């Protein structure tokens, strides 16, 4: 078990170093939220293993959970621990993205009040070659509290260098949801995050 976690940490370090060079900022494409929700009883939140591109999904999920641990209001269960724990209790991590019910089942096994579900998509020669979709779900009600989509339009990527842009998109998602958790902990309603348009107004840059 310790060996698996150490391997994950090593991969995360490589992932982080790959994004150290200067690159364009990620574009927040879409953010939906439940304005009326106030999680008065939340104490513990899990980040489940992400689905999608096998090359990036594990490191993206771990790096995203690292950002969430920068707040002290909620205890965060990391994807590596979540996978080991639910597997030990007889639940397999699905190959595709967790459904809401599967995520709630996993969260109950982990003893958490909310759960993050994520997906990392990389598609060559498409309008948005890199895209990360993350949902925050209340375990008790099954409500989706927030849906956040971040992507890079095709004009940004050169030489199919996905790794650096997955890293930057994960950075943006982590920072944005860190703000969300801090606001929720203070009893504030979630406010829409500002959209950061890309440097031009081409059709490709405004679509996912």
> What pLDDT shows up at residue 66?
95
What is the pTM (predicted TM-score) of this model?
Answer: 0.76
> What pLDDT shows up at residue 24?
53
> What pLDDT shows up at residue 28?
55
> What pLDDT shows up at residue 185?
84
Mean pLDDT by 10 residues, the chain (208 residues): 53 46 54 73 94 92 95 95 95 90 96 96 72 93 89 62 83 90 78 45 32
Taken in order of first residue, the domains within the chain and their CATH numbers are 2-194 (3.40.50.10070)
> Can you give the three-state secondary structure of the chain, one letter per residue?
CHHHHHHHHHHHHHHHHHCCCCCCCCEEEEEEECCCCCCCCCCEEEECCCEECCCCHHHHHHHHHHHHCCCCCCEEECHHHHHHHHHHCCCCCCCCCCCHHHHHHHHHHHCCCEEEEEEEEECCCCCCCEEEEEEEEECCCCCEEEEEEEEECCCCCCCCCHHHHHHHHHHHHHHHHHHHHHHHHCCCCCCCCCCCCCCCCCCHHHCC
> What pLDDT shows up at residue 105?
96
């Amino acid at each position: 078990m310790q060996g698996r976690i150490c391997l994950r940490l090593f991969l995360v370090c490589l992932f982080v170093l790959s994004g150290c060079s200067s690159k364009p900022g990620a574009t927040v494409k879409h953010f939906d939220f439940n304005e009326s929700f106030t999680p008065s009883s939340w104490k513990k939140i899990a980040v489940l293993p992400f689905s999608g591109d096998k090359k990036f999904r594990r490191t993206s999920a771990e790096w995203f959970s690292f950002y969430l641990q920068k707040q002290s209001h909620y205890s965060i269960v990391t994807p590596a621990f979540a996978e080991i724990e639910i597997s030990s209790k007889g639940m397999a991590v699905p190959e595709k993205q967790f459904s809401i019910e599967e995520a709630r089942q996993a969260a109950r096994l982990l003893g958490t009040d909310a759960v993050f579900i994520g997906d990392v998509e990389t598609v060559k020669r498409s309008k948005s070659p890199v895209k990360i979709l993350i949902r925050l779900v209340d375990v008790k009600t099954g409500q989706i509290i927030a849906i956040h989509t971040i992507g890079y339009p095709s004009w940004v990527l050169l030489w199919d260098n996905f790794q650096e842009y997955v890293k930057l998109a994960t950075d943006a998602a982590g920072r944005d949801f860190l703000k969300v958790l801090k606001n929720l902990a203070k009893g504030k309603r979630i406010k829409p995050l500002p959209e950061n348009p890309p440097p031009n107004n081409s059709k490709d840059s405004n679509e996912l």
